[in-house]
A and B are shown apart, each in its own frame.
Chain A
Amino acid sequence: MRSALFLLFTFELFMSSRDKIIQAIKAAALEEVPLPAAVGNPITYEDPVQKFSDVAKAVGTSVLEAESHQAVKDHLMQTYIPEVQTRWGLEQPLRMVSTLPEMEGLAEQITDVALDPHSLENVDMAIMSAQFGVAENSALWVPETMIRVLPFICQHLVLLVDSRQILNNMHEAYEKMGLGDDSFGAFIAGPSKTADIEQSLVLGAHGPRSLAIYLMA
């Protein structure tokens, strides 16, 4: 009897935090009950691309359309970059970086995995592509298999998305994403912002100060 008690005591003593927590949960006597059926149908839109564009503009994103990568390149050079420079008072030529081979010539290419992410701290504009967009909230899914920090450390972000890849709602988005092939990814909806000072909205908190989306035909 005494040795059994002793055993119990040592067991207590050596029980890991994990066991303690799991045991406390079990002791709470949980009930096995099935989940009630899901209710309601998610919203769909007649013209998801139009909806996407409206919502995106409402959160401070610039929405542009382009036929091809070359058209994006031309528009960036002739119109968008000068606009950004004027709007944010940038006189120096911008440091442009891209993960898209089509942007060669306009932006530095990121191909090297051994790249030190710290070297990106002074990137002015990054041009990347998003896998798909969501009309109901203008979020873009940016899975990041090569460089996590680029869409956040850059001062201005440009994302390209195929307009056929604009989904209605988040339910469709999760179906499309599937389960965890990417170790890291983010939904990005607009430029970074804060309202921590008197609830007044300021664009450009810690991440990019602006976001432009090119809807590719």
Chain B
Amino acid sequence: MSTKTALDFVSASEHKAFDLQHRKVINFNIDRYDNAVSNGLKQWNNLENAKRKAHSIKWRVMENLDKLLPEFEANFQKNGGKVIWANDTVEAQREILTILRRVQAKKIVKSKSMVTEEIELNAFLENNQIQSVETDLGEYIVQLLGQKPYHIVTPAMHLSLADIAKLFHEKFDTPENATAEQLTLKARELLREEYLLADVGITGANFLIADTGSIAITENEGNARLSTSFPKVHIAIVGIEKLIPSINDLDLYWPLLANHGTGQRLTVYNTILSGPKREGESDGPEEMYVILLDNGRTDLLAQKEQRQGLYCIRCGACLNACPIYKNVGGHSYGTTYSGPIGSIITPHMKGLQEFKHLSYASSLCGKCTEVCPVKIDIQKMLLLNRRDSVKEGFSPQVEQWGWKTFAKVAIKRNWIDFFNGKWKNFFLKKFFTKAWGSKRTLPPIAQTSFSKQWKEQEKKDKTY
């Protein structure tokens, strides 16, 4: 049977796909993104080569993860930082709470991080009476609304200027028709206070650099820098797949990420952090932790054919390119990572049986593979997931019987013509009405099959 998660996905998608206002906002936002990207991509001499190189470096990382992770650990510790390993959400939450309790933190500032979404950190901290403030503008907006990020790069992509102006008007009494500049300025003022007061800064990282033992953070707003400079403690929580072998590899990944994420040549700030404040420095955190999170990643690593799902640098290009994403929207997926990349990694990180339906949320048009800066063969991974879920026997019993019967019947003309149109329509309606959707009617099957009609016509022709 289909799981509840799958049924929820189908009903949410059906609803969103016909929500015209949603479609208008998304198309508007993605159009702007497309323009910026087509402009930004002009900076490459040979983009194809760059992508191929990015793919092969990530491939080397995954094949050597057992050596590179300890290398990162050793180098980061040499710099004075501490490394914590966490197998799953519960361990990661517990480790963070232990640190926060020890330094008696009441308020933390967070810069944008999908991994903290993955471990549901905000809700967890709230339950433990610790206030967690999102400082990325988009994240701040969705936090105010009590929502989850809609998109891995642009969390508030589903909202129009008018929506946000209304929200700020209600919460902070800004003018009802405030401009994007005015709203940004308001958030800037409010959040500046938070950086100064926070006890701990929590961030993700875009890259873990093995040879220098550093983390690299990419941003435009400056909030990550502020979140990691003022508070006494900085915790970065990072998936183990974010590793790159050398600081020299950033020359490739930084521009690729910026180009594919927002269309920029390079984002405004690219920071390399290699440990806590040292002697002779006046600021920076006194303690710095990197939490290396597994949370299902080694399960994906164990799938040889699908391991490349771990190469992802989270640029969001495949989301913006996907005709399904553009119609059903980020929230319908019900997963931390939405869009094509989410559809291929979630089943491995959280269970194929529950998330196999995501492999079908695709037209297999291949646009995702085409735009991927690290050349992940996304549509092939989708097909492999479909194959595996059938192999594992996760497809519903009715579907299994249905296809078996269909294969038997369709292979012999006698069998096909055994049932007349009435019966065929009966079966079609019985099994496919729901999948066809409520917004369109199933076309009927002809009363007499084409082959029969042909024979009858031939007979008639002969008699004349």
Name A residues whose Cβ lies closer than 8 Å to a Cβ of B. Answer: 16-18, 20-22, 24-33, 35-36, 38-43, 55, 59, 110, 112-115, 117-118, 121, 136-139, 145-149, 152-153, 169-171, 173-174, 177, 179-180, 182-200, 202, 204-208
B157's nearest neighbour on chain A, judged by CB, is A199
Judging by beta carbons under 8 Å apart, are B302 and A28 in contact?
Answer: yes
If A32-B63, A187-B269 are given as contacts, then 12 extra A-B residue pairs at C-beta distance below 8 Å, sorted by A number, are: A21-B240, A24-B302, A36-B56, A40-B50, A42-B251, A115-B282, A117-B230, A118-B230, A137-B43, A139-B270, A146-B281, A197-B164
Q: Mark B327-347, 1 if CB is under 8 A from A, else 0.
A: 000000000000000000000
Determine the chain B residues whose CB is within 8 A of the CB of A118 once the complex forms: 196, 230
- Residue pairs across A and B with CB atoms within 8 Å: the count is 263
When C-beta atoms are compared, the residue in chain B nearest to A17 turns out to be B85
Q: Which residues of B contact A200 (CB under 8 A)?
A: 32, 161, 180
Contact with A along B136-165 (1 / 0, CB 8 A): 111001000000000000111101110010
B223 within 8 A of A: yes
Chain B interface residue count, CB cutoff 8 Å, equals: 97
Task: Contacts A193-B220, A199-B32, A205-B188 given; indicate if A177 touches B247 (C-beta within 8 A).
Answer: yes
* A118-B196, A173-B251, A204-B185 as given contacts; A152 in contact with B222, CB under 8 Å: yes
A206-B274 in contact (CB<8A)? no
Instruction: For A187, give its contact among B28, B52, B91, B270 (CB under 8 Å).
Output: B270
Q: Is the CB of B283 within 8 A of A207?
A: no
CB–CB B222/A205 < 8 A: yes
- Minimum C-beta distance from A21 to chain B (A): 5
- Min CB distance A96 to B, Å, is 18
Chain A hits for B29, CB < 8 A: 198-199
18 A-B pairs with CB atoms under 8 Å apart are: A24-B294, A25-B66, A30-B65, A32-B63, A40-B49, A152-B225, A180-B212, A188-B269, A189-B266, A195-B220, A197-B159, A197-B161, A197-B164, A198-B29, A198-B32, A205-B222, A206-B222, A207-B225
Measured CA separation A8–B270 after assembly (Å): 46
Out of B86, B192, B226, B250, which one reaches A17, CB within 8 Å? B86
Is B405 part of the binding interface, using a Cβ–Cβ cutoff of 8 Å?
no
A149 touches B230 (CB 8 A): yes
**Which residues of A are found within 8 Å of B248, using beta-carbon distances?**
171, 174
Contacts of A149 in B (CB 8 A): 225-226, 229-230, 283
Report if A205-B229 is in contact (Cβ < 8 Å); known contacts: A147-B283, A170-B254, A191-B268: no
> Given contacts A137-B266, A170-B255, A197-B164, are A207 and B226 in contact (CB under 8 A)?
yes
The answer, yes or no, to whether B367 is at the interface (CB within 8 Å) is no
B402 within 8 A of A: no
Name which residue of chain A comes closest to B292, CB basis.
Answer: A21
Of the candidates B136, B266, B298, the one whose C-beta lies within 8 Å of that of A21 is B298
Contact partners of A194 in chain B: CB under 8 A: 137-138, 184, 220-221
**Which of B63, B268, B272, B283 counts the most A-chain CB atoms under 10 A from its CB?**
B268
A169 to B266, CA, bound (A): 12
- Write the nearest CB–CB distance from A15 to chain B, whole angstroms: 10
CB of B280 within 8 Å of the partner chain: yes
**Chain B residues in 8 Å Cβ range of A114:** 282
Considering the complex, give the chain A residue whose CB is closest to the CB of B154.
Answer: A196
Taking CB atoms and an 8 Å cut-off, the chain B residues in 23-38 that contact chain A are: 28-29, 32-33, 36
Q: When A21-B240, A192-B268 are in contact, do A208 and B222 touch as well, CB less than 8 Å? A: yes
Asked whether any CB of chain A lies closer than 8 Å to the CB of B214, the reply is: yes
Q: Does B15 contact A (CB under 8 A)?
A: no
Within 8 Å by CB of B156, from A152, A179, A196, lies A196
Contact indicator A183/B278 (Cβ below 8 Å)? yes
Name A30's closest neighbour in chain B (CB-CB): B63
B221 engages A207 (CB within 8 Å): yes
Residues from chain A with a CB closer than 8 A to the CB of B204 are none
Write out the residue numbers on chain B whose beta carbons fall within 8 Å of the beta carbon of A29. Answer: 304
